[in-house]
Chain A
Amino acid sequence: MDSLIAANIRQRPVRTAISMIGVALGVILIVLTVGLARGLMRDFAERQQNIDAEIKFLPGGSISLSANPLSLPVQFADAIMNGVQQSADDPEVVPKPPIEGIEAISPVGEWVHGGAGGLGFEIIDGIDFPSFTKVASVDIVKGRGLKAGEPYEAIVDGYYAERNKVDVGSEINVLEHKFTVVGIYEPAVMSRVKIPLPTMQDLMGGANDCSHLMIKLKKGANIDRVKAELERYYPGHHVILTKDLPALYSHSIVAVEVFLNAVIGLAVVISTLVILLAMYTTIMERTREIGILKSLGASKRFIVASIEKEAILISALGVALGFIAAVAARYAIVSSTKLVIDLRPEWLLISGLIGIVAGALGALYPAISAAKLDAVEALSYE
């Protein structure tokens, strides 16, 4: 029967090719979508974790882990560090003590814009360079850091510089303005491009506001106490430990998982339908051959198995085609955009299994229909 399967596949090259492409599309859809989602999340989480600061202080409301608008007054940094006292200018203010154990606080602005070529997105940090270097151990490996009084300067990390062929002195577009790259830093921390916070505030209209504060504690300070005091004296704000960021990302990944499951479902439907249509058409064409098999004494199980084997073989070829196309597409996308796509063996395996199972599933109805054909009618089929 194996030779009959191989002969059928060879005999109908167009049908075989279309079926393979259908399965391959499903595999590509899964591999690239999952790889893109996982890659971006992993990359962003890793860069968030590289910061030395132990606490991220955000305004109230919903937390967006990808980017936040400028809605937190920068003065919170001073208030947290030095406390708040009533004064003649502001007699209504509720006094707050300085939070003990804090070594440095740096305000950070975050802004998202579309990636190169309209694919993906890019996050820009607006930083106060002197205070930022106290909460993040970044080394300027080439050029210099951001200098006060130079609004249209930017620093980028080594990965960005390499991928975008950017060097010190190059110009990049941020917020529809040209910025000159003055330094390249390592390691990658938070976003890959950093501009002065005052410039971001000017361009976004958020004067004196930031997106969040990064808080670094003194050596030996009790992190839980500091967190508790921040929550006590600044209710309505979010106090997140940076060590918890991966877990928080995991929670935000739940929504991504739903999306990925939808993509997987779509891929299964595509592969199943393509194989179902291809095999159903084939069975119609081969009605007489099914009759011959029955006259030779082939059981229903034998007929179902032979059609399923053919579908699985076509699906396996489609999966192989899908792997090759996905790897090539990943290379092309990663080379021409700033997107990160994780291509992990386990996801290749899973997408391959999904492709083959979908193919087997799609062939089931045609196979059972073929097995149920009346032998005499099938033999007289023209």
Chain B
Amino acid sequence: MTMTTTHEYVPSSGTPAAMIEFRAVTKTFGDGPSSVRALVDVDLVIPAGEFVTVMGPSGCGKSTLLHLVGAIEVPTAGVVAVGGADVAGLPLEDQARLRRVDIGYVFQSLNLIPSLSAAENVMLPLELDGETPRAARTAAEAALAQVGIDHEIDRAPDEFSGGQRQRIAIARAIVGDRRILLADEPTGALDTATGDGVVELLARLSNEHGVTVLMVTHEPRFSSWADRTVFLRDGVVVDDTGDSA
């Protein structure tokens, strides 16, 4: 599809057809003969509310794809647009706002701050963004309820099971109605049944709450919860179940 990319920042309330768009994106690390091409000429359009998984062998560029969406990396060539805006072209202030307000991250582990309670962990991004503690608490309770954690929320993270901790991390990633959730092997440290529960939750957030989810995984089992799977090999998109679906 064609889409006019502007450097104008589209606020959270806007719901563009393509929430995430890669156009001819190449990302190279390093210079000269030792440089590594992590992504090569990637084209990818992810509509708002879609749940997409990225699969491929280690080192194929899966995580780089997420980092580009989150403006943690900038492309060497091509355009990564989020909400219709070219991320690399945004003023730094807007890039930071995008990372803080619109995009949530969940990783395999080390997601939560151990000295804060579950609720405080979820409140943190909002408080850092200037919300009052009372408003942050209300939003945190709502986000925790969405992920199925509705009691004992004032206990420390290590008093919860691994699966519950990952749910708390997801609550923190979506609190304040963030539109995009980037998940890098979020089930890596979990057993099959617990991992299924976490990915099912991501699917529900996408289906029922319109959150756009981009998840990296190497497990076919977890990938099968998604609307669509993109396969990478040596930085190239080699296939996409969305093409045939």
| Pairing of A with B | no
